[in-house]
């Protein structure tokens, strides 16, 4: 059982604890932030699929058609958005970002323009 710092008081808490035993905050080490990635509608690359994931190349890649979006629940802190604009290759672009507790961050991806955060 992993011990992680509580997001409120810093006390070491079990990764599975429903509340912090010291300060009582709910979900003290739970995923409390969210990244929402949207594939922008554009004529260029309209038939190509874009794949996105956060932090882990071996994790779950979301495949986006034009106008689609995917959500990634995250722990607060620094992360990397990984984007593959060609689903037939191992090449991907990496975009670093930081997200705070209870924050929802929006990212947009577009073939030919990359990714940006709004």
Q: What is the pLDDT of residue 57?
A: 64
Tell whether 43 and 15 lie within a shared domain. Answer: no
Tell whether 109 and 79 lie within a shared domain. Answer: yes
Tell whether 36 and 23 lie within a shared domain. Answer: no
Using CA atoms, how far apart are residues 64 and 55, in angstroms rounded to an integer?
A: 18
Tell which wins on pLDDT, 113 or 106.
Answer: 106
Residue 45 pLDDT class (50, 70, 90 cuts): low
* Total count of domains within the chain: 2
Tell whether 26 and 42 lie within a shared domain. Answer: no
Q: What is the pLDDT of residue 115?
A: 92
Q: What is the pLDDT of residue 89?
A: 66
Residue 104 pLDDT class (50, 70, 90 cuts): very high
Whether 37 and 64 have beta carbons less than 8 Å apart is answered as yes
Residue 87 pLDDT class (50, 70, 90 cuts): low
Tell whether 24 and 35 lie within a shared domain. Answer: no
Tell whether 52 and 104 lie within a shared domain. Answer: yes
Tell whether 53 and 94 lie within a shared domain. Answer: yes
Structural domain boundaries enclosing 15: 1-30
Tell whether 39 and 22 lie within a shared domain. Answer: no
Q: What is the pLDDT of residue 102?
A: 79
Tell whether 21 and 38 lie within a shared domain. Answer: no
Tell which wins on pLDDT, 19 or 88.
Answer: 19
SS (H, E, C) 8-22: CCCCEEECCCCECCC
């Amino acid at each position: 059982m992993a011990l992680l710092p509580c997001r409120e008081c810093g006390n070491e808490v079990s990764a599975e604890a429903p509340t912090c035993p010291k300060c009582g905050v709910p979900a003290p080490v739970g995923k409390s932030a969210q990244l929402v990635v949207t594939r922008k509608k554009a004529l260029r690359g309209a038939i190509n699929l874009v794949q996105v994931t956060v932090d882990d190349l071996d994790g779950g890649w979301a495949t986006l058609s034009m106008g689609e979006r995917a959500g990634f629940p995250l722990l607060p802190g620094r992360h990397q958005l990984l984007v593959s604009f060609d689903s037939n290759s191992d090449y991907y672009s990496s975009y670093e970002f930081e997200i705070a507790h209870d924050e929802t961050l929006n990212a947009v991806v577009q073939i030919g323009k990359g990714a940006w955060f709004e």
